[in-house]
Amino acid sequence: MIPRLSRTLLLAFRSLLLHPLRTTLTVLGILIGVASVVWLLAIGEGISRASQEQIASLGARNIIVRTVKPASDEFEGEIYGLTRKDFLLLSSTVPTLERVLPIREIPEEFRYRTRKLEGRLVGCTPDYAESMRLKLAGGRFFSDGDMREERNYCVLGAETAAKLFPVGDPVGEKILIGDEWYDVIGFMRDRAPSAGVGGSFAAEDYNRDVYIPIRTLWRRVGDMYVITKPGQFQRDIIELNQITLTVADTADVLPTADVVRDSIARNHTLSDYRITVPMELLEQANTTRLLFIIFLGLIAAISLVVGGIGIMNIMLATVTERTREIGIRRALGAKRRDIVEQFLMESTVLSIAGGILGVGIGLLCPAAVSLLRAAFTARFPEMQNALPELIRNVTPIIVPWSIPVALGIAVVVGVVFGVYPAMRAAKLDPIVALRHE
C-alpha cells in the first residue's frame, strides 16, 4: 500500500512540474485563501482582545454609577446627578458590597509659583488609588485620618507633578488650587489613559489629576461649579460625579447591579445618571467576538472556495490535455480507481502546498501589520492620529486553532474540487482516449 501511494505521489509531482506557471498560480489561490483566514482571524482577535482589556480594566467586580447632565427638554435647573444620599443608601442597604467609593471631579487650574496647569481636581477616599490601579512614584496617598481631619493634603498625577515641578521632589511643597494652598504629600506614576467603552464610559486621563480627600473638597470647594467665559455663563450644582461599587463575590455582580438600579431609581426622577456594569459589557463583548470571528471566517472561506474553483479548473484542463495518456494507462491495465487516485493526489498536493505556504504567510501577520503601521504613520501622520485608538494601536493575535482549521479546509477544498475532474478522467472510454489527438 505504501509503495503504491509513494508512486502515485511521485507521479503527481512530476505531472504538476510539467506546467510550473499553471501550478504556481493554482497554489497561489489556495495560499491567499489560507493566509486570509489566519490574518483576518488574527486581526479580529486583536481588536476583540483590546476591547475586552479596556472593559476589564474597569474591574469585573465593579459597578460604576456616573452623573450625566439631563437633556435640555427634561431639565432646566442647576441641581442634578448623584447625591450623598445615594452614597449613604447604597453603603447601608446593599449587603453584597465590599467597597463603596464616592468621587467628585472638578476642572481646575493648579499653580506653583509661576507655573500653572489646567487639570482635574478629584475628591475621593483613600481607596481610590487601589480601585483605579494607580501606583505611587513618591510620597504617600492620603489616609482615613486625613479624611476625618479634612486636611489640605493633595497627591499629584504624573503629568501634573512633571509640569509644576520639572526639577526636584514635589513632596513637601505647596500648590495653589483655587484660593486654597494644599500640601503635596505624594505623586503618582504615569498611567495610560483609559479608553472610552462605547457610549457607556468616557475616556479618562489620570495623569493631569490632583487628588484630595473628598471631605476636604466638600468643605473647601462645595458642590457648586461655575464657568465664566466670554459669552458663556454656566452654573452646576453636583454632589458626586461617580460612585464606584465593588462587589465581594463575582457571582453576585449581576444581581447586585439590579438592586443598585432599583435603589438609585427611587431617588431620581430625571435621567441624570448612568450605570455601567463591566461584567455585562464583557459578556456582550464575548458574544460580539464570536460573531465577529464567524463573520471574518466566512469572508476568508470565500477566498478558499475561489482557490478550490481554480484547482477544479486546472484539473479539468489537465484531464483534457492528458486524455491520450489516460487511454494508454487504461489499456495497460490501470483501473478507474487508479486514475481517480492519481488526479485526486495532484489536487491534494496543490492544496497542501498552498495551505502550508499560506500558514507561513499568515504567521507573519503581527510583524507585517507593525511594519505597515510604522510606514503609514511616517507617511500620513495626521490620518494615523485621526483613527480611533483601538484601531490605531491594534496588535494582531494569532488564533492557534485557525492554523489547523485553515490547513484542513484547504485540504478538503482540494479533495472536493478535485473529485469531479478525477471522476471525469476515470470515466473516459479507453478506445476513445487512445484516438484522441
Do 116 and 150 have their domain in common? yes
Mark whether 47 and 90 lie in a shared domain.
Answer: no
pLDDT score for 335: 74
Residue 48's contacts (CB-CB under 8 Å, 6 or more residues apart) are: 285, 288, 289, 292, 293
The 3-state secondary structure of the chain, one letter per residue: CHHHHHHHHHHHHHHHHCCHHHHHHHHHHHHHHHHHHHHHHHHHHHHHHHHHHHHHCCCCCEEEEEECCCCCCCCCCCECCECHHHHHHHHHHCCCEEEEEEEEEEEEEEEECCEEEEEEEEEECCCHHHHCCCCEEEECCCCHHHHHHCCCEEEECHHHHHHHCCCCCCCCCEEEECCEEEEEEEEECCCCCECCECCCECCECHHHEEEEEHHHHHHHCCCEEEEEECCEEEEEECCECEEEEEECCHHHHHHHHHHHHHHHHHHCCCCCEEEECHHHHHHHHHHHHHHHHHHHHHHHHHHHHHHHHHHHHHHHHHHHHCHHHHHHHHHCCCCHHHHHHHHHHHHHHHHHHHHHHHHHHHHCHHHHHHHHHHHHHHHCHHHHHHCCHHHHCCCCCCCCCHHHHHHHHHHHHHHHHHHHHHHHHHCCCHHHHHHCC
Task: Say whether both 119 and 74 belong to one domain.
Answer: yes
Domain termination site, one of 218, 242, 271: 271
**Residue 60 within a domain:** no
Give the number of other Cβ atoms within 10 Å of residue 257's Cβ: 19
Tally of structural domains, the chain: 2
Residues 266 and 324 in one domain: no
Domain closes at, from 244, 271, 298: 271
- Residues 156 and 31 placed together within one structural domain of the fold: no
Residue identified by cell 471631579 is 105
Pair 85, 228 in one domain: yes
My answer on whether 10 and 82 are in the same domain is no
Asked whether residue 171 is assigned to any structural domain, the reply reads yes
Asked, for residue 249, whether it belongs to a domain, the answer is yes
Same domain, 425 and 302: yes
Distances from the Cα of 136 to the Cαs of 150, 210, 340, in angstroms? 21, 13, 72
- Has residue 64 been placed in a domain? no
pLDDT score recorded for residue 146: 93
State which of 207, 240, 271 marks the end of a domain: 271
Rounded Cα distance between 261 and 253, Å, is 12
* Residues 87 and 176 placed together within one structural domain of the fold: yes
Which of 184, 213, 188 lies closest to 124, judged by CA? Answer: 213
From the list 152, 166, 169, 167, the residue with the least C-alpha distance to 210 is 152
Domain-located, residue 276: no
C-alpha grid cell for residue 29?
Answer: 489561490
Cβ–Cβ < 8 Å for 103, 244: yes
Regarding whether 148 and 31 lie in a shared domain, the answer is no
Task: Print pLDDT tens along the chain (437 aa).
Answer: 556 667 767 766 777 777 778 778 878 888 888 888 888 888 877 877 776 666 666 667 888 899 988 876 666 667 888 999 999 999 888 888 888 999 999 989 999 999 999 999 999 999 998 888 889 999 999 999 999 999 999 999 999 999 999 988 999 999 999 889 999 999 999 987 665 544 445 557 889 999 999 999 999 888 887 766 666 666 778 899 999 988 888 778 888 889 999 989 888 888 889 988 877 766 766 777 777 777 777 776 777 777 777 777 777 777 666 666 666 766 767 677 777 777 778 788 888 888 888 888 888 888 888 888 888 888 877 777 777 666 677 788 888 888 888 888 788 877 777 777 777 776 766 665 555 55
> How far, in Å, CA of 195 to CA of 434, rounded?
72
Say if 62 falls within a structural domain: no
The answer to whether residue 399 is domain-embedded is: yes
Residue of 255, 4, 251, 223 lying closest to 105 (CA atoms): 223
Question: Domain range holding 426?
Answer: 2-55+284-435
Cut 0.95: pTM above it: no
What span, in angstroms and rounded, lies between the C-alpha atoms of 198 and 293?
20
Rounded Cα distance, 212 and 143, in Å: 10
Residue 63, domain member (yes or no): no
